Amino acid sequence: MESCPYYNPLVFQKPCLSVCHSADGRILVIGTTEGRFIVLDGKLGSHLSTIQVATGAVDSTKISPGTLS
């Protein structure tokens, strides 16, 4: 995982199960085994937000078109 350009040990505490990106590539969303979405800047790889969305694993992520401005 350390070879991944988005790897940051402060953000990635547990394995990820799913990944998606916005149509323009500006946002990358990762679903974790701990029920979190990790949101990254798709171009810089910097951490934007971590959102707890479930008590179990997030095995599917999707960004709906038109939801990001």
Of 2-11, 31-40, 52-61, which range is least confident? 2-11
Residue 68 domain flag: no
What local confidence, expressed as pLDDT, does residue 52 receive?
92
| 13 three-class SS | coil
Q: Residue 41: CB partners within 8 Å, gap ≥ 6?
A: 26, 27, 28, 48
Which residues, listed in sequence order, are joined to residue 21 by a DSSP beta bridge?
28
Residue 69 domain flag: no
Residue 55 domain flag: yes
Name the pLDDT band for 61 (thresholds 50, 70, 90). Answer: confident
As given in the structure block, the two tokens for residue 17 are 């199960």
Positive or negative, the CA dihedral 44, 30, 22, 63 is negative
Residue 38 domain flag: yes
What is the extent of the structural domain holding 36?
A: 1-62
Positive or negative, the CA dihedral 41, 4, 10, 13 is positive
Residue 37 domain flag: yes
Q: How many domains are contained in the chain?
A: 1
The mean pLDDT of 15-25, rounded to a whole number, is 87
Residue 67 domain flag: no
Residue 39 domain flag: yes
In this predicted structure, the answer to whether residue 28 has a pLDDT above a threshold of 50 is yes
In this predicted structure, the answer to whether residue 63 has a pLDDT above a threshold of 60 is yes
Average pLDDT, the chain: 79
